[in-house]
Amino acid sequence: MPDAKTAPNIANAEALKKMYADMLLIRRFEERSGQLYGMGLIGGFCHLYIGQEAVVVGMQAATRPEDQVITAYRDHGHMLATGMDPNGVMAELTGRSGGYSRGKGGSMHMFSSDKKFYGGHGIVGAQVPLGTGLAFANKYRGNKGVCLTYFGDGASNQGQVYESFNMAELWKLPVVYIIENNQYAMGTSVNRSSALTDFSKRGSSFNIPGVQVDGMDVEAVEAAGREAMEYCRAGKGPIILEMKTYRYRGHSMSDPAKYRSKEEVAEVREKRDPIDHFASKLIQRGVATDADLKAMDSAIKARVIAAADFATSSPEPAIEELYTDITV
C-alpha cells in the first residue's frame, strides 16, 4: 500500500516547476471563469476548483499517456491538468462553437478523447461506475492503463459507488478511486452527512485498500498517486486515495456558502494554500526564485486572458447544431 508520507521523488526541477505552473493555470483560469460568470458570459451552473488544485495536478503528474480520467461536474481543473486547451474549455463555458463540445455541453459536460478525459458528469456519483467501466476496458484489452476516477465526499454516499467498488475488487480492475474530500457536499458538512468520515476506509467491506493524503500538498499527492497506479498496474485491483482538500468558493457560483465561517476559509487560505505553500518550498529549495514564479504568473495570466478573449469572441454554435450528434 502506498504511504502518503513517501518522500517526493520528483527531483527534477523542471517537473516541479511544471506542477506549480499547472496549479497556477487552474487558479487563474477559475478566477477568470468566476469573473465571466459575474458578467453573464457563462450561464447555468459553474463549479470552481479553487483550493483543490494540488489534487489533480499531483495525480496527473503520476500518470502515463494510456491512463484515463473521469470526474463529476467540478471538472475545469481536471481538464486543464490533462492538457486540454484552455481556449476550448473556456469557450465551452461560454457556450460557443469553439468549445470542446461545440457549446452543447457546458461547464459540466466536456470530453476529450485525445487527452483521455471522459467527462464531465452532472449526476453525483454516476462517473464512478463509468470510470470502473473504463478500467474494465483496459483489462479487457490487456493494456496497462489505469482509470483515475474522481468523486467527492458527497458522492461517497451514493449507492452506485459501492456497486462499483464491489465489481472493481471482484474483477481486479485497474482503477484509482480518488475521493476529493473538500469537507462539504454542497452545503452539508461531512460530519452531518457521513457515518464514517474517514473516506479512505470506505472500501474496507470490499477489501479495497485506502490511503489518506494531504490533498493540499502536490508532492504528497504525486507520491501517493504514483504508488496507487503501480498497485493497479500490478493487477492488484482498485485502490482508494482520500484527498483531504478544501474549496475556497461556494459549491457553485450561486452558493453564498453560509454554512461555514469566513474565518474557516481564511485560515485554510492562510495556512494550507496548495500554491503558496509549494511556492515557498520551491524558493526554499532553490528550484525557482521569486522572480521566476512572478514571470510564470504573468505568462499564465496572459494565457488565461487569451482564453477568455477566444471564449467571448468564438461564435455561438450554428442553429443546425441543435439536431446534430444525437444518433448517427
161's CB contacts (< 8 A; 6+ apart) are 125, 128, 151, 155, 202
Cell 504573468 appears where?
298
Out of 51, 95, 105, 237, point to the residue binding another protein (CB under 8 A): 105
CB of residue 238 to another protein, shortest distance in Å: 12
- Separation of CA 87 from chain center: 18
Q: Does 99 bind another protein (CB under 8 A)?
A: yes
The DSSP string of 122-150 is -STTTHHHHHHHHHHHHHHHT----EEEE
Least Cβ distance, residue 270 to another protein (angstroms): 39
Q: With CB under 8 A as the contact rule, which of the stretches 74-82, 102-110, 178-186, 298-306 interacts with another protein?
A: 102-110
Residue with Cβ nearer another protein (52 or 107): 107
Cα 215 to chain centroid, rounded: 11
Does the protein bind another protein through residue 8 (CB under 8 A)?
no
**DSSP calls for 177-208:** EEEEE-SEETTEEHHHH-S---GGGTTGGGT-
Q: How many CB atoms lie within 10 A of CB 102?
A: 20
Q: Stretches 20-28, 122-130, 211-219, 254-262: which one binds another protein (CB under 8 A)?
A: 122-130
Closest distance to another protein from the beta carbon of 281 (Å): 37
| Residue 312 makes contact with another protein by CB under 8 A | no
Q: Give residues 129-158 in contact with another protein (rule: CB under 8 A).
A: 129-138, 140-141
User: Which of 8, 18, 34, 163 is close enough to bind another protein by CB under 8 A?
Assistant: 163
Using rule CB under 8 A, residue 160 touches another protein: yes
In one-letter notation, the amino acid at residue 145 is G
Does residue 274 interact with another protein by CB under 8 A?
A: no
- Measure the CA angle with vertex 76, ends 71 and 77; round to 5°: 85
Candidate list 90, 167, 211, 311; residue touching another protein; CB under 8 A: 167
Interacting span for another protein (CB under 8 A) from 55-63, 72-80, 160-168, 305-313: 160-168
- Which of 226, 219, 224 is CA-nearest to residue 63? 226
The residue range among 35-43, 99-107, 225-233, 278-286 that interacts with another protein, by the rule CB under 8 A, is 99-107
Shortest Cβ 288–another protein spacing (Å): 37
Query: Which grid coordinates belong to 199?
Result: 473516506
Q: How far is the CB of 256 from another protein (least distance, A)?
A: 28
Alpha helices in the chain (DSSP H): 13-38, 53-61, 76-81, 86-93, 127-141, 159-170, 190-193, 218-233, 262-272, 274-284, 290-313
Q: Is 325 in the site for another protein (CB under 8 A)?
A: yes
C-beta closer to another protein: residue 15 or 130: 130
Question: Partners of 321 in the beta sheet?
Answer: none
Directed axis angle between helix 13-38 and helix 290-313, to 10°? 40
Query: In the chain, count of helices (H) and strands (E)?
Result: 11, 8
Nearer to another protein among residue 128 and residue 213 (C-beta): 128
Contact between 203 and another protein by CB under 8 A: the answer reads no
The C-alpha atoms of residue 253 and residue 263 are separated, in whole angstroms, by 20
Interacting stretch for another protein, rule CB under 8 A, among 49-57, 111-119, 252-260, 303-311? Answer: 111-119
Residue 226 engages another protein in binding (rule: CB under 8 A):
no
Using rule CB under 8 A, residue 122 touches another protein: yes
Residue 101 binding another protein, by CB under 8 A: yes
Q: Which amino acid is at 247?
A: R
The span from the CA of 285 to the CA of 297, in Å, is 19
Euclidean distance between CA atoms 154 and 106, whole angstroms: 22
Residue ranges that bind another protein, judged by CB under 8 A: 68, 70, 99-105, 109-113, 118-123, 126, 128-138, 140-141, 159-160, 163-164, 166-167, 170, 324-328
